[in-house]
Structure 1
Amino acid sequence: VLVDTAPGSYEMDYAKLEEALTERTKVIIPVDIGGVMCDYERIFEIVERKRGCFSPANEVQEAFGRIVILEDAAHAFGAERGGKRCGETADFTSFSFHAVKNFTTAEGGALTWRDIPGMDNEWIYRQFMLLSLHGQDKDALAKTKPGAWEYDIVMTGYKCNMTDIMAGIGLAQMERYAGMLKRRRELLDVYEAALGGLPVELLSHDG
């Protein structure tokens, strides 16, 4: 179910979001745009009000006891809102490191999550690893160990694993990312000053 943006905003219409939630709703995926995080405090308030109509379908949903919030933070790596950093607000947060993003490894991404009462973080991590590597029960590093070349396909998965080279690019950028964001802010100020008096709608980058 798609929820449209609010008039004059790039964020979803939160009133329409609440109207769209039913007992079939399992997850909400808000999309952060232009380095601005959505209003997760408001989203969680809506979810709490709708807790009574939530119908879990698996053990993870039962552990939450409510609709899950999965933040699409492809455009918000390093962003903050209300004193909280992107990646520590929603239940799960997905990041993109595609070539056109502020922080890039050419391809790939990352996923973070908050502690879930009653759920083991190692088990959650294991599920993501299985999904990202064709359902194989051993990653490339594990296969290099003596006598460990055999592996099983334990589930249907995808191919989302990042190469070591890509990870190296990301680690190098992490060391200078604060400076990169500062420089982007300086360039943004130049554009806003030049275009401010023209009939052009500027995207706000301040949350």
Structure 2
Amino acid sequence: MNIPFSPPFIDQAVIDEVLETLQTNWITSGPKVKALESELITLTGTPAAVCVNSWTSGAIMMLNWFGVGAGDEVIVPAYTYCATALSVLHCGATPVMVDILDDFTIDPEMIRKKINIRTKAIIAVDIAGLPCHYEELKALIREPEIKVQFVSKTARQAGLGRILLIADAAHSIGAMYNEKPAAQQCDVTIFSFHAVKNITTAEGGCICLNLPEPFDNQEEYAFLKLFSMNGQNRDAFAKSKGANWRYDILFKGFKMNMPDICAAIGLAQIRQYVKTLLPLRKIISLKYGDAFRGYDWFIEPVMKSENREASYHLFPLRIKGITEAQRDRVIDELVLRGINVNVHFIPMPMLTYFKSLGYAIADFPNSYKQYSTEISLPIYPQLTDGEIVYITNAVIECVRLVTGVKKLVKVLS
């Protein structure tokens, strides 16, 4: 058997939407992008959505929008993909890394210790699709003793009057918080539509705005659409309609727009997401939990709690009491059996570039602890019941083989 880790969901609806786009002879930013933005507003309940060409582009745009630059700091978890910190570095600012909780989300108390007059934003990462503890984070940045430390350098910073809270929701489209879409919890939520995500546009992302007064989210949407197109006041689609050739450059923007040919893929998927694709992912996650629950080595991931429910983007299996080397051997054994798995994530302080900047994994013990025992199992709508059984049986056998325990204990509930 050969089971891929995370193939894209491409059905006839996706093919038809892409073919329709090709047949219109308009493949860059246009009506399909606008339609996808509209669907995202419906899904998230946020006031505005701006599609871009990647999560990273979205983060760089929003940090620039807020005026984050040299001398500023942005707090990020050490346990995330490199793009979270690289977006900060690309703005000339400094990523300040903090450790995580056992559920993989950023630790609010560690954030508190790092806030100072240079702190301009926090990027909280929804690992595996589980929302961070946003009520705690929002309460923290609104505390009088925290707000008084905030030093405004731009009009937008003065308008907000506090630290900007950004959700790195690359994994968490469709996640819920207090029975509402989790995207409503932060000032800014940024999704990824990379090929392995729950909804894909091959490459792409989206910025969802939920800015408080005095901001007008529609005005900021209009600005960001120009910002993603080099600051040009008339996009190519508008220029293609008649004699609209004249344009102006209003400010120094970026080239980060999403093309229609990519939006078409996501548009077909998002229309099936709530009723079909997301429930299928949840079913697979529950089957994994049922298969492993009771084994004394199984650390069950938090996929649903009192006020949070994940998007079931990953199933982050953790194996109690093993070393990093043993975890790697389990992965090797699974691959030999035709099961492609992954690890989410190698903490940034373990990566060469970040080590060269002075970050050290010894400063983030829980990040290392979670990483060293984690294996991300395949989870996507196309998985069959037979493949799920094959995967779970293989995991149980491979853990037994690597740990050397002749008989694994299954605790009776």
TM-score over 0.5 (shorter chain): yes
Is residue 73 from structure 1 mapped to residue 175 from structure 2 by the alignment? no
Q: Distance in 2 between matches of 1:30 and 1:52?
A: 22
Give the corresponding residue for 2:267.
171
Where 2:184 maps in the other structure, the secondary structure is coil
Give the corresponding residue for 2:97.
2
Match of 1:96 among 192, 198, 202: 192
Change in CA separation of 1:107 and 1:52 when aligned onto 2, cut-off 3 Å: same
Deviations 1:9-51 (A, max 9, x none): 3011111101111111111110011121011110011101111
CA shift, 1:62, in A, is 1.1
Larger radius of gyration: 2
Letter in 1 for 2:156: V
CA shift, 1:200, in A, is 4.4
RMSD: 1.7
Is residue 105 from structure 1 mapped to residue 201 from structure 2 by the alignment? yes
Q: Distance in 2 between matches of 1:172 and 1:91?
A: 28
CA shift, 1:146, in A, is 2.3
Q: Which has the higher contact order (CA 8 A, sep 6+)?
A: 2
CA shift, 1:64, in A, is 1.0
Q: Distance in 2 between matches of 1:66 and 1:30?
A: 16
Q: Given that residues 167 and 188 in structure 2 are in contact (C-alpha distance below 8 angstroms), is that contact kept between their aligned partners in structure 1? A: yes
Is residue 16 from structure 1 mapped to residue 113 from structure 2 by the alignment? no
Where 1:145 maps in the other structure, the secondary structure is coil
Give the corresponding residue for 1:181.
278
Q: Given that residues 228 and 256 in structure 2 are in contact (C-alpha distance below 8 angstroms), is that contact kept between their aligned partners in structure 1? A: yes
Where 2:138 maps in the other structure, the secondary structure is helix
Give the corresponding residue for 2:289.
192
CA shift, 1:109, in A, is 1.2
Deviations 1:93-146 (A, max 9, x none): 101111100111111111111243123334312331233222322212221132
Q: Distance in 1 between matches of 2:272 and 2:162?
A: 38
Q: Distance in 2 between matches of 1:152 and 1:199?
A: 62
Deviations 1:169-206 (A, max 9, x none): 22221221021111111111222223332634443222
Is residue 204 from structure 1 mapped to residue 302 from structure 2 by the alignment? yes
Where 1:29 maps in the other structure, the secondary structure is strand
Q: Given that residues 63 and 116 in structure 1 are in contact (C-alpha distance below 8 angstroms), is that contact kept between their aligned partners in structure 2? A: no
Give the corresponding residue for 1:41.
135
Match of 1:129 among 195, 200, 225: 225
* TM-score normalised by L of structure 1: 0.91
Q: Which of 71-80 and 141-150 deviates more? A: 141-150
Q: Given that residues 32 and 73 in structure 1 are in contact (C-alpha distance below 8 angstroms), is that contact kept between their aligned partners in structure 2? A: yes
Q: Distance in 2 between matches of 1:97 and 1:171?
A: 11
Q: Which of 197-206 and 154-163 deviates more? A: 197-206
Q: Distance in 2 between matches of 1:15 and 1:116?
A: 25
Give the corresponding residue for 2:52.
none
Match of 1:146 among 220, 242, 257: 242
Q: Distance in 1 between matches of 2:213 and 2:300?
A: 42
CA shift, 1:53, in A, is 1.2
Deviations 1:46-104 (A, max 9, x none): 10111111111111111111111111111110000222312111001101111100111
Which structure features the higher share of helix residues? 2
Give the corresponding residue for 2:178.
82
Q: Given that residues 26 and 68 in structure 1 are in contact (C-alpha distance below 8 angstroms), is that contact kept between their aligned partners in structure 2? A: yes
Change in CA separation of 1:136 and 1:198 when aligned onto 2, cut-off 3 Å: farther
Q: Given that residues 71 and 92 in structure 1 are in contact (C-alpha distance below 8 angstroms), is that contact kept between their aligned partners in structure 2? A: yes
Where does structure 1 lack aligned partners over 5 or more consecutive residues? none
* TM-score normalised by L of structure 2: 0.47
Q: Distance in 2 between matches of 1:143 and 1:154?
A: 16
CA shift, 1:154, in A, is 3.2
Where 1:70 maps in the other structure, the secondary structure is strand
Letter in 2 for 1:102: N
